[in-house]
Every structure is written in structure tokens, then in C-alpha cells.
């Protein structure tokens, strides 16, 4: 059965902080016409420039997925894009008054709620899907990284991770339909190891971070000074290590929440193709760099087939 493109029915807004910049930021989702795609607009700048959510605009993936077009930045887009993919939103204009999407609780749940509040609207143009006739693969064998798009009639995704530590080792997450993402995966939060968090704090790289928007794993016994520095940075008292090796700032929703969040990130990065996929995604140790390199390979495959248009 053929489906038409979808946008939202009414505009809706949300405010928060950028995780890395610490900037107070508001975003407003607005309906857009067919074939518009997902486009950001920096309304804080005088000429209100636009940045298309597209793989060709990816610039940096060191700690999040960041876009740039004509020198204009939009940072940390992956959680919002995952929500749009999960809710099948094809066309949207996103007003933003700073350069980074708000982190909210570190998941896609708040963005899913926004879309549900706005409602959806079917457009007159038919929805287009991305499909392949052969396997597209990105791999880095020395790091155990492998991502594949396998030809299939329906979209499915499975993610495997292994961090080789007693507190976070092998995990698996999967979805067979988008409803599973919305119901079970979208609320899964980002995570970090304590030693990584300490490095980010020391180097002023999480200016907008809060202890309630990330799961913190402790893979080795920290110096008391490190815990004290974390407490002081976040202005929290009585931070302790739980029996499961996480800090007591938040509770795990699922035993495999980290793998679920990696699936969430990958879904968001895949939406930089500009269209939904029909095919089976299999990923081992995904991350933003690997995800976007994988998406570039899919884009190049489609471009060679003459089935995509350059932006």
C-alpha cells in the first residue's frame, strides 16, 4: 500500500540547553510542504539562514552529529532526527535560536511528545523510500565496527555493542517496526563512562550537561577527588556508585538501555539521507563517525544509481 508524505499539523515549541555549548535554546517545529525535507533555520541570525538536514552537510562527529551549510552550524541533531524518523515526519521547518539542539533528558522522548502534541498531516505527494539491490557495508575491522544495509522489503534494525567492561559488556537491541522505536527505544538516554565525563568537565566540553540527562557508568574505582569534582560541577550532593556500576543520578529503564540509545543515534543519523529506508540495518559497535561514514556510502551507492538528487 502506497503512503503519502507527512508533516505536522500545527507548530509546537520546546526550550532547553545545548549539551556542549551550554546555550539556552528554543526550537519550534513548523509544518512544511511536500518535498521540502527537514530544514533548520537559525532565526537568531540577521539573515535567518537555513541548513538542510543532509549527509552532505555533516561536519563534525566527535561527540555528536553536527551540520554546517554556508558556514552556519546546527549541532547535536541526532536525537531530534531520530524522533522525526520514528514518527515518519518527511517535511518540517525547524526554527532554532542558537546553534545547538537542546539535550533535554538525553533521549528522543521530549521530541516525540512534541510531535504527538502537534499532530500529523498527510500531504498530497507520495512518500519515497530508499532501497538497495546489494549489501552496502562500512567496516573498521581493527575496531570491531561493522554496519550493513541489506536489501529487504521492510525496515528493521539491530544493534550490537560490547564495551569490554564488567559494568557494560555485550548488549543487543532491535526493532522490527517504527512503533517499537516510539514505544520502547525513544526514551533511552545517552550514557558516558565516569572517566570520560571527568575529561569533558575538565576541558569545558559539557557546558549544558546535567546529571539527569545521562547514565554514568563507572568501570573502575575512581579517586574520591573525581567524584567530588563531578558533584561540584553539577552542584549535586551524595553522588554514589550503585551496585550495577552506575552513578545514582538516574536509574536504568532497561538493562540494555545503552544499546537502545545507540540504535536511537543510528536511526537519527540514517535520517540524514532525507528519506526513510526499506532494508535491514545490522550494526556492530556503531557511533556517530561510523554512522555518518556508513550513510555516506549509502548516499554514494544511490548517487551512482542515479536515484538521488544533490542538494
261 is catalytic: no
**Distances from the Cα of 57 to the Cα of 67, 70, 83, 267, angstroms:** 5, 9, 20, 17
20, 110, 261, 288: the active-site residue: 288
Residue 97, number of CB atoms within 10 A of its CB: 16
Residue pair 131/149 in contact (Cβ under 8 Å)? The answer is no
Catalytic residues: 288
Amino acid at each position: 500500500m502506497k503512503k503519502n508524505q507527512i508533516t505536522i499539523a500545527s507548530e509546537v515549541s520546546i526550550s532547553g540547553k545545548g549539551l556542549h555549548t551550554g546555550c539556552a535554546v528554543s526550537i519550534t517545529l513548523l509544518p512544511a510542504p511536500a518535498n521540502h525535507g527537514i530544514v533548520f533555520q537559525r532565526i537568531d541570525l540577521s539573515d535567518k539562514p537555513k541548513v538542510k538536514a543532509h549527509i552532505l552537510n555533516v561536519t563534525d562527529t566527535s561527540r555528536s552529529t553536527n551540520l554546517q551549510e554556508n558556514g552556519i552550524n546546527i549541532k547535536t541533531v541526532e536525537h531530534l532526527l531520530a524522533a522525526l524518523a520514528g514518527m515518519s515526519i518527511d517535511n518540517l521547518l525547524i526554527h532554532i535560536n542558537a546553534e545547538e539542539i537542546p539535550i533535554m533528558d538525553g533521549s528522543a522522548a521530549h521530541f516525540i511528545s512534541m510531535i504527538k502534541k502537534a499532530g500529523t498531516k498527510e500531504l498530497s505527494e507520495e512518500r519515497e523510500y530508499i532501497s538497495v539491490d546489494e549489501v552496502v557495508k562500512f567496516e573498521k575491522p581493527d575496531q570491531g565496527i561493522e554496519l550493513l544495509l541489506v536489501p529487504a522489503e521492510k525496515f528493521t534494525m539491530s544493534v550490537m555493542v560490547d564495551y569490554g567492561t564488567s559494568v557494560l559488556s555485550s548488549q543487543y537491541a532491535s526493532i522490527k517496526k517504527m512503533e517499537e522505536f516510539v514505544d520502547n527505544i525513544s526514551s533511552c538516554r545517552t550514557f558516558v563512562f565516569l572517566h570520560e565525563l571527568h575529561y569533558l568537565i575538565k576541558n569545558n566540553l559539557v557546558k549544558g550537561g546535567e546529571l539527569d540527562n545521562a547514565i554514568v557508568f563507572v568501570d573502575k574505582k575512581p579517586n574520591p577527588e573525581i567524584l567530588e569534582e563531578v558533584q561540584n560541577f553539577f552542584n549535586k550532593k551524595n553522588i554514589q556508585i550503585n551496585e550495577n556500576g552506575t552513578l545514582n543520578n538516574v536509574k536504568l529503564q532497561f538493562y540494555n538501555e545503552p544499546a537502545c540509545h545507540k540504535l536511537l543515534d543510528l536511526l537519527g543519523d540514517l535520517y540524514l539521507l532525507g528519506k526513510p529506508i526499506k532494508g535491514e540495518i545490522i550494526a556492530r559497535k556503531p557511533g556517530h563517525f561510523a554512522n555518518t561514514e556508513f550513510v555516506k556510502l549509502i548516499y554514494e551507492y544511490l548517487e551512482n544509481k542515479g536515484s538521488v538528487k544533490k542538494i
